[in-house]
């Protein structure tokens, strides 16, 4: 009897395509007197539904990386790709939320502020923009304040409105530059939880800049640790399953990152 032998079938597991990919990105600023290198050959990949954190000391180039991804600053070396295409200019597929409380236009209501990018980009007709604004204002718990003006809202509420405005555009990636840094500690914790709830609901992709190790572990599922100026990648870590703040897994990761960020300083100390 002839027995036919087949090679065992090996199922190839396809690797997902990165949504955002930086390859050796060096960012510089030219001023009249100086050439400032903000980041040096930074590479990383962000996948869909990542909560990707850029963590590093002041001046290491975190905001510059966001500006590079947003398309405001062009790398002098390396590339920034979104959906496989080189980023050449700002676009509505990348929405930013900043630290400042005055991101909203004070002469427009919260609803009008949220509608503004949808209308200005001609992405949505008026009716749809209004519906989407209402839905996202609701998601961030501001329905009662939809027709209020920004000065009538607390700092945390204004940040929620800025998040609703960015999310309503349904960008490919949400770029958040220390969005909660100017809030008091309690509001900041609340906002971190709310952002995670929103993520549970919508599963958006977010690139989040912070210099707080705790915030990085709470908010992120992946953390890119950057070296001091000019920023280079020190490590990439997985987070997201660290359990309770103050629990052993959380403090272990926090201490590890702390050592990573302060190692040189500690070694050099007398
Ligand atoms: N427009 C600019 N012109 C010249 N230099 C700049 C400009 N913006 C940033 N820099 C310089 O680039 C470097 C990185 O700055 P960047 O703001 O990206 O750092 P950061 O990590 O976000 O800092 P922080 O946490 O303090 O906000 C710094 O040395 C800064 O002085």
Mean pLDDT over 61-65 rounds to 96
**Rounded mean pLDDT of 108-124?**
95
Q: Does the pLDDT value for residue 264 go beyond 80?
A: no
3, part of any domain: no
Residue 14: predicted pLDDT = 72
Please report whether residue 131 resides in a domain: yes
Q: Identify whether 191 is part of a domain.
A: yes
pLDDT classification of 243: cutoffs 50, 70, 90: low
pLDDT surpasses 90 at 78: yes
Judged against a pLDDT cut of 70, whether residue 55 lies above it is answered with yes
Per-residue pLDDT at 254:
94
CA 210 to ligand 1 center in whole angstroms: 14
**Range of the structural domain that residue 151 is part of:** 20-262
How many independent structural domains does the chain possess? 1
Asked if residue 77 is part of any domain, the answer here is: yes
Q: Quick check: is 10 in a domain?
A: no
CA of 63 to the centre of ligand 1 (A): 7
d(CA 1, CA 142): 76
CATH number reported for the structural domain that contains residue 157 in this entry: 3.40.50.300
59 lines ligand 1 (CB under 6 A): yes
Tens of pLDDT along 144-199?
A: 999 999 999 999 999 999 999 999 999 999 999 999 998 999 999 999 999 999 99
Q: Whose CA is nearest to atom 26 of ligand 1?
A: 58
Instruction: Report ipTM for this prediction.
Output: 0.97
Give dist(CA 154, CA 217) in Å, integer. 26
62 lines ligand 1 (CB under 6 A): yes
29 lines ligand 1 (CB under 6 A): yes
Atom 14 (ligand 1): residue with closest C-alpha? 61
The arithmetic mean of pLDDT across residues 81-98, rounded, is 94
pLDDT, position 56 = 94
For residue 60, the ligand 1 atom closest to its alpha carbon is 21
Say if strands 173-177 and 94-97 run parallel, antiparallel, or are unpaired.
parallel
166 near 135, Cβ under 8 Å?
no
CA-closest candidate to residue 44, choices 78, 85, 72: 78
CA atoms within 13 A on the CB side of 3: 2
Q: For the chain, what percent of residues have pLDDT higher than 90? A: 81
Report how far ligand 1's centroid is from the alpha carbon of 2 (Å).
Answer: 73
Residue 230 lies in a domain: yes
Q: Is the pLDDT of residue 109 over 60?
A: yes
Residue 267 has pLDDT above 50, yes or no: no
Give the model's pLDDT for residue 7. Answer: 55
What digits encode the pLDDT tens for the residues 16-46? 899 999 999 999 999 888 999 999 999 999 9
Instruction: Please report the DSSP string for 222-246 in residue order.
Output: EEEEE-SSSB-EEEEEE-S---STT
pLDDT in tens, 205-224: 999 999 999 999 999 999 99
11 versus 115: the higher-pLDDT residue is 115
Q: Is residue 11 part of a domain?
A: no
User: Of 143, 140, 132, 135, nearest to 109 (Cα)?
Assistant: 143
Residue listed under structure tokens 């004070």: 106
Is 6 within a domain?
no
């Amino acid at each position: 009897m002839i027995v036919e032998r087949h090679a065992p079938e090996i199922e190839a597991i396809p690797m997902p395509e990165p949504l955002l990919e930086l390859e050796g990105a060096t960012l510089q600023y030219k001023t009249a007197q100086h050439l400032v290198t903000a980041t040096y050959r930074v590479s990383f990949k962000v996948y869909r539904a990542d909560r990707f954190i850029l963590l590093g000391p002041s001046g290491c180039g975190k905001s510059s990386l966001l500006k590079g991804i947003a398309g405001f600053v062009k790398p002098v070396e390396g590339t920034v790709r979104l959906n496989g295409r080189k980023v050449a200019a700002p676009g509505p597929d990348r929405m930013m939320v900043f630290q400042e409380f005055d991101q909203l236009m004070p002469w427009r209501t919260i609803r009008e502020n949220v509608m503004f990018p949808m209308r200005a980009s001609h992405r949505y007709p008026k009716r749809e923009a209004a519906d989407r604004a209402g839905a996202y204002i609701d998601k961030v718990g501001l329905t009662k304040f939809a027709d209020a003006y920004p000065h009538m809202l607390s700092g945390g509420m204004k940040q929620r409105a800025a998040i609703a405005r960015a999310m309503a555009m349904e960008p490919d990636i949400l770029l958040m530059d220390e969005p909660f840094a100017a809030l008091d500690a309690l509001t900041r914790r609340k906002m971190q939880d709310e952002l995670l709830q929103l993520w549970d609901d919508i599963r958006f992709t977010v690139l989040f800049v912070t210099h707080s190790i705790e915030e990085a572990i709470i908010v992120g599922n992946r953390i890119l640790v950057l070296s001091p100026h000019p920023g280079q990648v020190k490590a990439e870590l997985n987070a997201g399953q660290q359990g309770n703040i103050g629990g052993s897994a959380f403090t272990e990761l926090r201490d590890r990152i702390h050592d990573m960020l302060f190692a040189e300083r500690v070694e050099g100390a007398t």
